[in-house]
Amino acid sequence: MLAVFAATQDAENPLSGLKIDDQPDPEPRDGWTTITVKAASLNHHDLWSLRGVGLPEDRLPMILGCDAAGLDEEGNEVVAHSVINDPSWHGDETLDPRRSLLSERYPGTFAEKVAIPTHNLIPKPKELTFEEAACLPTAWLTAYRMLFGRGKVPPGATILVQGASGGVATALIVLGTAAGIRVWVTGRSEEKRAKALELGADQAFEPGARLPERVDAVMETTGQATWKHSIRALKPGGTIVISGATTGDAPPAELTRIFFLQLSVIGSTMGTREELERLLRLCVDKDVRPVIHSTLPLSQARDGFETMLNGDTAGKIVFTLGDS
């Protein structure tokens, strides 16, 4: 089957190991189902895998992709929850120390077919297209949990989102706005800041800008480049929710400020199957739709990877198969 995979890894030149070619069909496993993929979306996670972060070299070649929507073996329209647990695990799936995402231990979604535990299938609401549904299981689910699960941000609060145009950032803007949260963002270009305002952000600032007032919570995925600004943007007693460190993870921790202002630093990763079900319902009931930057046939996936690597995204990049 046609697949997009990491053949080799290179921290400096991640796309050198990206291949689009035939790979074996998924192997049947007890309790697993094979999905015929109709749409899959690109995440920064796929670039990390190509850089050698989170994917050991001895697992190569590895089909990339965490997110998919498609048809199960009976022809039902489904969305894949990407968090794969150890079969003995019970409780919050994201806390399982042996969990993995599709494309870390088991082949990912950038292929004609992907195998997944049957429990991880969720019916796709008919109101969402395959392309829209394929944006939700990683970036959008992560944003949902940051805001409502880990962050517990109430309506009327003000948050700062570091980054305007990424998959998680656009999800935070749209979901936060839909929930009655006042959303401020930083964006690296005038164009990105304008787009964030179109999506519902209340104000958009240059990275590091002085804000009109301090905020209740910061949503952080950028890491080193923005950490100091994030900590300094918070009110006493404020909360920073962090789910990523795109620019590196070794900024000064700002410890004095954290204890003196009694700030909370909260980690957040992916989300549970139940949270993904709630997110799907929210999208349908409140007419919320993922922000899609571009849709490409899987055979042209390299163009999408280049766009993300260059930081030229404006929402999610979706790959399609067949006539989705």
Ligand X SMILES: NC(=O)c1ccc[n+]([C@@H]2O[C@H](COP(=O)([O-])OP(=O)(O)OC[C@H]3O[C@@H](n4cnc5c(N)ncnc54)[C@H](OP(=O)(O)O)[C@@H]3O)[C@@H](O)[C@H]2O)c1
Q: Please identify, using beta-carbon distances, which residue of 86 and 249 lies nearer to ligand X.
A: 249
Q: Which class for 20: exposed (0-12), middle (13-18), buried (19 or more C-beta within 10 A)? A: middle
Q: Which of 163, 176, 238, 290 binds ligand X (CB under 6 A)?
A: 163
Least distance in Å: CB of 150 to ligand X? 10
Considering only 269, 294, 295, 307, the residue that binds ligand X (CB under 6 A) is: 269
Cα 183 to Cα 160: distance, rounded to the nearest angstrom: 6
Q: Which stretch binds ligand X (CB under 6 A): 11-19, 106-114, 118-126, 163-171?
A: 163-171
Select the residue interacting with ligand X from 41, 82, 138, 272 (CB under 6 A). Answer: 138
Is residue 65 involved in binding ligand X (CB under 6 A)?
Answer: no
* 132 and 290 Cβ atoms separated by less than 8 Å: yes
Which run of H or of E encompasses 257?
Answer: helix 255-260
Please give the size of the binding site for ligand X, defined by CB under 6 A.
Answer: 29
Nearer to ligand X, 251 or 322 (CB): 251
In the complex, least distance from residue 268 CB atom to ligand X, rounded to whole angstroms: 7
> What's the token pair of residue 144?
């949902």
Nearest CA among 2, 19, 22 for reference residue 10: 19
CB-count burial class (<10 Å; 0-12, 13-18, 19+) for 295: middle
Q: Which two structure tokens, joined as six digits, stand for 122? A: 């969720």
Q: Segment 2-31, which members bind ligand X (CB under 6 A)?
A: none
Q: Please report whether residue 102 would count as binding ligand X according to CB under 6 A.
A: no
Q: Minimal distance in Å, beta carbon 192 to ligand X?
A: 5
Residue closer to ligand X (CB basis): 151 or 166? 166
Question: 234, 263, 308, 321: which one contacts ligand X (CB under 6 A)?
Answer: 308
Interface map 216-255 toward ligand X (x if CB under 6 A): -----xx--x-----------------xx-xx--------
- C-beta contacts of 210-218 below 8 A and 24+ residues apart: 211/160, 211/184, 213/158, 214/238, 215/158, 215/159, 215/160, 215/184, 216/153, 216/157, 216/158, 216/159, 217/151, 217/153, 217/157, 217/159, 217/160, 217/241, 218/159, 218/160, 218/161, 218/162
Q: Where does this chain touch ligand X (CB under 6 A) — which range of 74-82, 129-137, 210-218, 308-316?
A: 308-316
* Residue 39: closest CA among 63, 68, 72: 68
Judged by CB, which is closer to ligand X: 47, or 114? 47
In the list 187, 238, 290, 304, the residue contacting ligand X (rule: CB under 6 A) is 187
Nearest in space to 244 (alpha carbons), one of 208, 270, 278: 270
Q: Is 164 in the site for ligand X (CB under 6 A)?
A: yes
SS3 for 152?
A: coil
Summarize as ranges the residues that interact with ligand X (CB under 6 A). 43-45, 48, 138-139, 142, 163-169, 187-188, 192, 221-222, 225, 243-244, 246-247, 269-270, 308, 311, 313
